[in-house]
Amino acid sequence: MLALRLTRAARPAVQLRRLLVAAASAGTGFLLLSCLGYALHHPQSAGAAALRLVWCAVPLAATVYLALAVARTDPGTKPRTGLSAVGLGPARLMAVSALTTALACTLGSAVALLVFLHLRGDLTGMPFDGAASDFLASDQPLPLPAALTLLTLVPATATTTVALSLRPRDPRPTTPGPRRFGRFGAYGHATAKETFGTYGRYGARLSRRTASDGGAPHPHATGGRTAEAAPAPQESGDLTAPDTEAGSPAPAPETTWPADTPQPPKDAPAGLPWGITFLAMGLAVHAYADRAALAVLLGWLLIATGLVLAAPGLTHLCGRLLQSTRPGALRLLAGRVLMAEATRIGRPLGVVCAVASAGYAMTTLYAGSAPAFGPLTTLGALLVTGCTVATLLTAAVETRQCRSETTAALLRLGAPASMLRVAAALRAAALLALFGPLTVAVAALAALPVDR
């Protein structure tokens, strides 16, 4: 009931994204049912029917990726202050996201089943004068268990992926720092050496525990004196030493980041070498594929994996290039955003680059040697392209949501809104200048053995 209430009370933009997930699920379900109809109509071509079913893995993956991106940007399931007190903790919100995804995908699968039954003529008369009977198997009864099994693939896969990706994680670091030992083998984290008799002094160990917990030291930790009365070391250059003229200690500058402040990125994403490796493997498979269907599919899967792994590193590199050669405030802002959001923006960009490369190679570089596209091939191509573009736009929305506080802070500091829009346009232009030629180059290299 909570998932239904959150679904109904969402804004129109959120409802539109959920409808896109339902439409993608409907298209993928219809393609799966078409594979079943082709297998029923051609029982002697089991290999061709299995190959059609394998090719449906591409739109299935695109649909699941879109569903995950939409679940990440759902404002109704974002953790907020006070929700845990009423029973809406991170685990419950993850369950609500998974249920919302399941509802959208189940709605799309139901629509796909109704359309398929309508085209078969099971609900009304046969439309289009039976022109699509090749993959509908209208002359044979439809096995309902097999159809329902295929239709549950999209909701089950999408729901499981969303639940695993949005599961609550422990914010504490998984690998603790190096353990140090104090006097007599006791655990300690201080780097200063202890003097003789420190361990047995009353309250000496209590001050370290309270300091590590963020609290004030115990008054007995300094031998009965309070922390304010403890003398500060007088060293040259010590900013915390007491001021002899004013009589009050000078505050030290803030040199550490607060716990809730995101730190700037230091290193580039680590997937660039692996991405180049997978990309080279995919191009090598294409070079020796001899246009076999499974080999071509394997090659494009390797190419897509390589582009997805390499795209965050390339996006980070694009942000660095924007800040080179004495940048101003505009280029600094655009470059820093690209570096900070390299992973979130780069992965959908890699998927779009892979899909655009495959489409460009099949429609342009193959010339007249490629077979003519049928209605199912066109539907699959439109479905994959639409899902990847929608995922990229949804990732942009997620990036905007994550940086809303930073944007508001810049506006409060007096930054004009036009500068933020120009910075966004500069980021888009820089990414297009980098990934556009890369897409054309990958498509040309993939189709080179065919032209030769």
Decide: 284 and 253 in contact? Cβ < 8 Å: no
pLDDT by residue, tens only, the chain of 452 residues: 655 666 666 678 888 899 999 999 999 999 999 999 888 888 888 888 888 888 899 999 999 999 999 998 887 666 666 666 656 677 777 888 888 899 999 999 999 999 988 888 777 665 655 555 667 777 788 888 999 999 999 999 999 999 998 887 765 555 555 555 555 555 555 455 555 555 555 555 555 554 445 544 444 444 444 444 444 444 443 444 444 444 444 444 443 444 444 444 456 788 889 999 999 999 888 888 766 777 888 888 999 999 999 999 999 999 999 888 888 888 888 888 899 888 889 999 999 999 999 888 877 655 554 455 678 888 998 999 999 999 999 988 888 888 888 888 888 888 888 888 899 899 999 999 999 999 999 988 887 765 44
Q: Report if residue 237 sits inside a domain.
A: no
What distance in Å separates the CA atoms of residue 315 and residue 367, rounded to the nearest whole number? 32
Q: Report if residue 306 sits inside a domain.
A: yes
Decide: 311 and 342 in contact? Cβ < 8 Å: no
Decide: 192 and 207 in contact? Cβ < 8 Å: no
Q: Which domain holds residue 446?
A: 272-451
Three-class SS of residue 187?
strand
What distance in Å separates the CA atoms of residue 98 and residue 68, rounded to the nearest whole number? 9
For 174, counting Cβ atoms within 10 Å of its Cβ (0-12 exposed, 13-18 middle, 19+ buried), the class is: exposed
- Domain finish residue from 144, 165, 186: 165
- Domain finish residue from 116, 133, 165: 165
Residues whose CB is less than 8 angstroms from the CB of residue 17 and which lie 6 or more positions away in sequence, other chains included? 70, 73, 390, 394
What is the DSSP-derived secondary structure letter of residue 162? H
Q: Report if residue 262 sits inside a domain.
A: no
Decide: 359 and 333 in contact? Cβ < 8 Å: no
What distance in Å separates the CA atoms of residue 199 and residue 87, rounded to the nearest whole number? 46
Any bridge partners for residue 113, and if so which? none
Element (H, E) at 293: helix 293-322
What distance in Å separates the CA atoms of residue 427 and residue 156, rounded to the nearest whole number? 37
What distance in Å separates the CA atoms of residue 225 and residue 373, rounded to the nearest whole number? 86
Element (H, E) at 181: strand 180-181
Domain count, the chain: 2
Q: Report if residue 66 sits inside a domain.
A: yes
Decide: 50 and 74 in contact? Cβ < 8 Å: no
Q: Report if residue 429 sits inside a domain.
A: yes
For residues 283 and 413, membership in a common domain is answered with yes
Three-class SS of residue 249?
strand
Decide: 222 and 216 in contact? Cβ < 8 Å: no
What distance in Å separates the CA atoms of residue 250 and residue 246, rounded to the nearest whole number? 9
